[in-house]
Amino acid sequence: MSLLGTEHGLCIDQIERGCLRGERWRDIGCNARKGWHGKAVPLDLVRITIGGITGFGWSTLSRTQAQSMIGTKVQDIFTSGMRVRPKYHGIEYPLLDWLGHWTGKPVYSLFNPTMPNIAEDPLTVPCYDATIYFDDLHLDDDHEAVTLMQAKALEGWKAGHRAFKIKVGRGARHMPLQQGIKRDIVIIKGIREAVGVQSQIMIDANNSYNLNITKEVLEATAEVNITFIEEPFYEDPVLYEDLKNWMSKQNLKVMIADGEGLTVAPSIVDWAKQGLIDVLQFDIRFYGFNKLLEMGDQLLGSTVKQAPHNYGGPYGNYASCHVAPVLERFLTIEWDEVRVPGLEAHDYFITDGRVKVPATPGFGLQLDDKYFMKSVQAEGWLLKI
């Protein structure tokens, strides 16, 4: 731990919390379960100060929780491998950002020192546009709906994306069942036509299908070459096995992705190891960076891929970039484009389906101090030794 300088008695001197108000690049429609998502996205941030160096990141830390952490020594926070101990996972992102600034390294290189950390050899990570929801529900004509959703996908293409996740399950709530299934199918096919055969297409049913509907949709869209289907129905190993066997007979190479909801988290990992789930999607924020590293340890040597869930939180875009090179079989980033006044991420940009990750210290983000302090004073809090 000499790298951290703990022999000098470093400790948490100050913790501040505020909230910045972000806005998506476009209005986002419904999914199979929920109504219109809109554009507004709040971003809860915590900033810590240790040894005169600050680090900030997403956190839902309460003032009461923070009071118990003020004065905590660094050697009690980090393991010898520089991971954050479970007691402090609630501020793991500010802590990791601080550690990156203290050591002068990007977060990803703290856990994978073989990765590049110089601007001339940048890290890039695959990502997909996660903003293709049900924007078409006001349209009765399927052709008009396809045209609209093709335009949405092409907006993502112009922004640099080459992989697209399409929300499906219109017949679960928002449309009559068969009409909704038909609409799902024609939109999947239409978006494939719009973005070309080289792009990846994923679909996400938010648990709104059953086994038979899943088979119907996958059979009808076989020529689309869907990369994965996410949450086709509520987690059930018997149904997963049936679906896997059916896809094998149909010669469909679609992967099954699940784990976002964490409803049966320990079982899901076991099912994945058994080959029933191909991609685990534990959330980058609420499950967490360090727990994803621990899961990566559990999955070493397996065929299971990781693609952390990230929606409704712009910080997760950037955090996912740093966990990606540390995980043995990381698949892709769920990119939710949100612009947040007061938070600068200019060194991240998407081109040809990949995110260029800055080699600057910490998570490579800049916080406007005056903007953040207005939020702290208006609706947050500040604690110090």
pLDDT digits (tens, 9 = 90+) for 213-227: 999 999 999 999 999
Does the residue 114 lie in any domain?
A: no
Range(s) of the domain holding residue 130:
123-366
Distance CA 336, CA 30 (A): 15
Q: Strands 255-258 and 228-230: what pairing?
A: parallel
Length in residues, the chain: 385
User: Can you tell me the distance from the alpha carbon of 369 to that of 322, in angstroms, rounded to the nearest whole number?
Assistant: 24
* Neighbouring C-beta atoms of residue 79, cutoff 10 Å: 11
Q: By three-state DSSP, how is residue 371 classified?
A: helix
- Rounded CA separation 114/103 (Å): 16
Q: What is the pLDDT of residue 7?
A: 47
pLDDT in tens, 152-181: 999 999 999 999 999 999 999 999 999 999
Whole-angstrom Cα distance, residue 258 to residue 364? 29
Same domain, 81 and 201: no
Which pLDDT score, from 0 to 100, does residue 266 have? 78
Are 145 and 69 part of one and the same domain? Answer: no
Asked if residue 128 and residue 243 are part of one domain, the reply reads yes
Kindly state whether residue 109 falls inside one of the protein's structural domains: no
96 and 129 in a single domain? The answer is no
93 and 149 housed in the same domain: no
Helix H or strand E encompassing 157: helix 142-158
Between CA 74 and CA 311 the distance in angstroms is 31
103-140 pLDDT, tens digit per residue, is: 999 999 999 767 655 555 789 999 999 999 999 999 99
Are 332 and 379 in a shared domain? no
Mean pLDDT score across all residues of the chain: 94
Q: Report in angstroms the alpha-carbon separations of 340 from 12, 333, 372.
A: 27, 19, 11
CA dihedral sign of residues 369, 372, 374, 378: negative
Question: Are the beta carbons of 271 and 240 closer than 8 angstroms?
Answer: yes
| pLDDT tens by residue, 255-275 | 999 999 866 667 999 999 999
Residue 173 φ/ψ, nearest 5 degrees: -145, -45
Task: Find tokens 């066997």 and name the residue.
Answer: 245
CATH of the domain at 7: 3.30.390.10
Model-level pTM? 0.95
pLDDT tens-place values along the chain, 385 residues long: 445 555 468 999 999 999 999 999 889 999 999 999 999 999 999 999 999 999 999 999 999 999 999 999 999 999 999 999 999 999 999 999 999 999 999 999 999 767 655 555 789 999 999 999 999 999 999 999 999 999 999 999 999 999 999 999 999 999 999 999 999 999 999 999 999 999 999 999 999 999 999 999 999 999 999 999 999 999 999 999 999 999 999 999 999 999 998 666 679 999 999 999 999 999 999 999 999 999 999 999 999 999 999 998 899 999 999 999 999 999 999 999 999 999 999 999 999 999 999 999 999 999 999 999 999 999 999 999 9
Q: Is 99 in contact with 77 (CB distance < 8 Å)?
A: no
Q: How many domains would you assign to the chain?
A: 2
CA distances to 219, 264, 268, 288, 378 from 272, rounded to whole Å, are 23, 12, 6, 19, 46
Q: Which residue has the tokens 């399927």?
A: 142
